[in-house]
Structure 1
Amino acid sequence: MERFELNRRTFLKTSLAVAPAVMLSSHTPQDALAALAATPGKQVFSILHTNDMHSNVIGVGPLQDYTPLKLGDDQTKGGYARLGALIAQRKAELGQLGPVLVLDAGDFSMGTAVAAACREMGAELQLMAQMGYDATTFGNHEFDLGPDGLGKAIQRAAEAGDIPAIVVTNSDVSAESERLVDLQDLAQRGLLQPYRVIERGGLRFGLVGIIGYDAFKYAADVGAVTFGDPIETAKATAQRLKREENVDVVIALSHGGVVHRPDGSFQGEDLNLLEAIPGLDVVIGGHTHSELREPLMVDHRPVVQTGKYGEHLGELVLSLGNGRVTVESYRLIPVDDQILGDPAIQAEVEGFLQQSGDITFAPRGYATTQPLVMITEDWPMDYADIESGTPLANVVTDALRLATNSQIAFTANGAIRAGLTQGKTGVQTVYDIFALAPLGNGIVDPTAGSAMVQGYFTAAELKNILEFLLMDDPNHPGEYYPRTSGLRFYYDPRRPRFDQVTALELGDLDDGYTPLDLAAPTLYSFATSLYLGSILVYIPQLTKGALTLQPKKADGSPLTTKAEAIVDPRDSTSPYVLPATTHLNADLAAINAASREIKEWQAIMDYLVNLTTKTPDGLSLLVKDDRAKEIRGIKIS
């Protein structure tokens, strides 16, 4: 049987078996580093770094638990007040040895309630500047609100004050398009740069910013932005930096990623950069949320990555001698309640939380800090662990089905962007629940949050949707696993591609299930988010006709999606390229009784608020009952 590789790319043909770094120690004591810095011919410098922070300004944990100005009383991981304080402390200490850079590898935005109003506030870049960041780059999620939304967010941040350099070496925003006007203005003003030179402590550092293939093919709406080949662009720029700019060290901010293989080795685009570019000295990586406890080395040159959401700060200490960069020390420092937060940064965070609530939630009757529901245990969402994520996925899909009055609702693991953590009190606020479904925007309502979309499909078409989502991506295991409400399905992963689903049943636990006839022309109402729907309508093109479907109205007439008109210059064989949301017709939008477009996050919040089980204080109580525990995708083995 032919094996189908979702990310079949020439740049991934070579798998690199990469060993962890050998250095003085994972964290060399300060006195040893000081002695090293005093060694003739050695110049010590340090890099503090993050990646994939996704606007997690209060960290990972319940909003009500987070107390950054106190110690030892919460379990929150991350939070910008604590991260900023830690950066300041480490810069002061490491600065005694030599120059210090603070860098980020992209996906700095999108994921929380603060990002919901990024076009109006530009909060992320403002806070990064306050924390002392020198530079960042674009990740795929920077394009969630399109190039025009991204441009507005950066413009707003720049209007408020200094922002980190945004280094976008292989991102081309020069095309003639109204949606690129703001990005073009930023480039002309030097706020978007093809490379960046920083002279500090007697050394010249050259920065390149690269968004990788796997990242830009996932970008939701890049408009007319195009991307150069990551390796070729980075190679040419590194050579220019060494030859024309006379830099001592070239550092790549790479939103490409690395993945851990079953045999213990690593592979990925961050490593490929070092393999292909001798003039590149260090890669600060991102995109795959990989928590690397030790650097990965290619010819003595390191790749590092901190994981996600600002839960750790990476600290990489290096030396330069005889033109060669050497790793001297590396560690990931937890950002937790052992760190006293910076009050000024926390004050800014609280102000942005208030503003984002006024912009996003208040028009729909919610407030950022409003308690919505109580939980008595964690509700995790671990993409690779299908079983543990089932209760939360069932709640989400049940909410989507109820909000749209559809027979069937779909989502995918990766569209559920967070789990729920019980914390000290179990109280989950609007801020916490929004994090479940923060991505995308609307069709007729441009505010943040994916619109709900509706259509009608036959049983055979529903099977095709499931077959499509059951194709796992080895770079993102479990993220595309289908989650359903109103539909139960059986599948055998040993069967050939596109023929793994063996049976479908319509119904639920309350009313029972009825087998569906795959040959019948009967139509079933179907709901999903715009973010996922923009993939599903494109299934025939993405599978080159192997899987067919046509969204329809209730009378069977086609819904106009304009998917046939899409010409995708990215030439990807992956089924997960997202066409721009403008390719979906407004007829797809799910509308509530007030004739307002239904947001995915709103559907979930409304569902939770209206749960019948309440606490003594009248707060909804979410429990793992039989409906939550139900297995709706039954694996045959």
Structure 2
Amino acid sequence: MDKERRSFVLFHSNDIHSHLEQAAKIATVIDLEREKRPSDAMLILDIGDHMDRMRVETEGSTGAVNVHILNHIGYEAIVLGNNEGLTYTPEQMEQVYTDQATFRIIGSNIREMASGEIPAWMVPYEILHKGDLRIGLIGVTAAFTEFYELLGWHVLQPYDVIAELTAELRQQVDVLIVMSHLGIKHDRAIAERIPGIDLILGGHTHHLFEEAEKIGDTYICAAGKFGSHLGRIELEFDSDSRRYDVTRAVAVSLEEVPPDPGILSIIDQYGAIARQNLSKVVARLDHRLTISEEKESPLANLLAAALKTWTGAEIGLTNTGQLLAALEAGDISLEMLHRICPSPINPCVLNLTGAQLLQSLEESLLPEFQQRAIRGFGFRGRVLGTIAVDGLEIYYDVDQPPYERIQEVIVTGTGGRLQKDEVYQVATLDMFTFGVGYMALKEGIDRRYYLPEFIRDLLAWALSQESLLSTCPTEHWHLLE
């Protein structure tokens, strides 16, 4: 006698970015579903970037709050996004996942550089048995090779890994799923190029498919960003024929869903833990350090000087929009620095021509750049702001046309004028190399990135350097009358 076809539901989330109250809404949906079906008839997966160090509970618990929430909801597997893999050291991730996670971390394209092996707290793939339904999971993350290598990781090119594992697993499973923190362009390309994949659950580029897209025999699904939606895929499975049908594949809005009180309690508990962990005093200020988005200020100048001095570059350059509030006189704690500089952005050094520098400085005088809202690329501020520098003296005339306002730039180290065809070593922020903000900065060459340090770590260091504190009120932009 043929066994009755049975239903199965798969939930998937991506790019929560520590919007933990939205995770509480996900918990509500999952709990309601559990009342209707047994555990072997459902599965919950996360496709990366659940953690975001902008959130104080995440920062102050080294991601433990996120792991606790994933455990509580009942996730069975996750893949790392760049917000996990590049903002925490391997040692930090190993500790939080090994000590606390009840789910699998799938790292199909991640290897340790030293050993060439996958770390012990990850698995290269997973086969889950849900009753008689066999589900294969492949999990890949974006290959930011240069950055990962600075942290001791080797990230394999995901297409090759997916093709190899698909060939290996296809005959062993009924449903083969790729958990892809690669982005929509890559998800579509994988569906087109690699046969044998049933579902691609996507993330990274924050794309939303309210209804799944189908390419060939592969369904592509994604739930947007910040927990605004939750992916839901319903299957009907026949164990005699080993065949399944996707009856529904959607992303459901959570706007009207109430948050789960248990998750809200976890958030509150870790809020207290985070505040305690971040209460450490790193410096004491004798006077207030102000900040402005529209012009240079002592606090922005201090960050520019920290970039220049800490890296040993000729010039330090930052956008003023990185810093969200002034630092008041008195004790400065880690929590204060996190509050004013929450962006998980790393320092970098690159070579720029004088012409490229000049273009960027000119752009920083224009309102359309100063008020430009930036989304992603590590930036967690409001707008770009203007430029603060160390190592340059800039003389400008606002009555001149755009891109002709800067009349002279002096390079402090040499005392000479900035030359358009000369090359200068500039310490700045990694986000500029991604083509966001001031356009010419992305053209810099011989880039050197610094990980795991964030720019707030450099700011903490600079607050203990009396030479930098004493000179940061000095203006470097000089308005010509």
Could you tell me which of 146, 164, 167 is aligned with 2:103?
A: 164
Unaligned runs of 5+ in 1: 1-38, 59-77, 178-183, 259-267, 367-391, 419-429, 442-449, 470-476, 488-503, 550-562, 567-578, 604-637
How far did 1:198 drift? 0.7
Residue aligning to 1:4: none
RMSD of Structure 2 on Structure 1 (CA): 5.1
Q: Give the Cα separation in 2 of the matches to 1:431 and 1:583.
A: 16
Residue aligning to 1:228: 156
The total of aligned residue pairs comes to 408
How far did 1:104 drift? 0.8
- Structure with more of its chain in strand, by fraction: 2
Q: Give the Cα separation in 2 of the matches to 1:310 and 1:461.
A: 39
How far did 1:46 drift? 1.5
How far did 1:166 drift? 0.4
1:187 paired with 2:119, answer yes
Could you tell me which of 479, 485, 494 is aligned with 2:386?
A: 485
Q: Give the Cα separation in 1 of the matches to 2:210 and 2:451.
A: 38
The answer (yes or no) to whether the contact 1:171–1:227 under 8 Å persists in 2 is yes
The answer (yes or no) to whether the contact 1:306–1:314 under 8 Å persists in 2 is yes
Could you tell me which of 299, 318, 328 is aligned with 1:410?
A: 318
1:331 paired with 2:250, answer yes
Residue aligning to 1:210: 140
Q: Give the Cα separation in 2 of the matches to 1:165 and 1:100.
A: 16
1:51 paired with 2:14, answer yes
1:113 paired with 2:56, answer yes
What does residue range 554-633 of structure 1 map to in structure 2 within 5 Å? 579-581=449-451, 592=462, 594-595=464-465
Deviations 1:528-557 (A, max 9, x none): 865447879xx9xx98xxx568xxxxxxxx
What does residue range 241-320 of structure 1 map to in structure 2 within 5 Å? 241-243=169-171, 246-258=172-184, 268-320=185-237
Could you tell me which of 136, 152, 170 is aligned with 2:92?
A: 152
* TM-score w.r.t. length of structure 2: 0.68
Q: Percent identity?
A: 19
Residue aligning to 1:10: none
Q: Could you tell me which amino acid in structure 1 is paired with residue 26 of structure 2?
A: L
Secondary structure of 2:20's aligned partner: coil
Change (3 A) 1:166 1:590: closer
How far did 1:49 drift? 0.7
* TM-score w.r.t. length of structure 1: 0.53
Q: Give the Cα separation in 2 of the matches to 1:90 and 1:285.
A: 23
The answer (yes or no) to whether the contact 1:112–1:431 under 8 Å persists in 2 is no
Q: Give the Cα separation in 2 of the matches to 1:210 and 1:455.
A: 30
How far did 1:350 drift? 1.1
Residue aligning to 2:300: 401
Q: Could you tell me which amino acid in structure 2 is paired with residue 595 of structure 1?
A: Q
Change (3 A) 1:286 1:456: closer
The answer (yes or no) to whether the contact 2:177–2:200 under 8 Å persists in 1 is yes
Secondary structure of 2:105's aligned partner: strand
The answer (yes or no) to whether the contact 1:252–1:280 under 8 Å persists in 2 is yes
Q: Could you tell me which amino acid in structure 2 is paired with residue 115 of structure 1?
A: T
1:460 paired with 2:386, answer no
Q: Give the Cα separation in 2 of the matches to 1:53 and 1:432.
A: 24
The answer (yes or no) to whether the contact 1:408–1:486 under 8 Å persists in 2 is no
The answer (yes or no) to whether the contact 1:144–1:221 under 8 Å persists in 2 is no
Change (3 A) 1:314 1:596: farther
How far did 1:45 drift? 1.9
Residue aligning to 1:353: 271
The answer (yes or no) to whether the contact 1:139–1:287 under 8 Å persists in 2 is yes
Unaligned runs of 5+ in 2: 285-290, 306-314, 325-333, 365-373, 389-393, 411-415, 473-481
The answer (yes or no) to whether the contact 2:80–2:141 under 8 Å persists in 1 is yes
Q: Give the Cα separation in 1 of the matches to 2:304 and 2:119.
A: 46
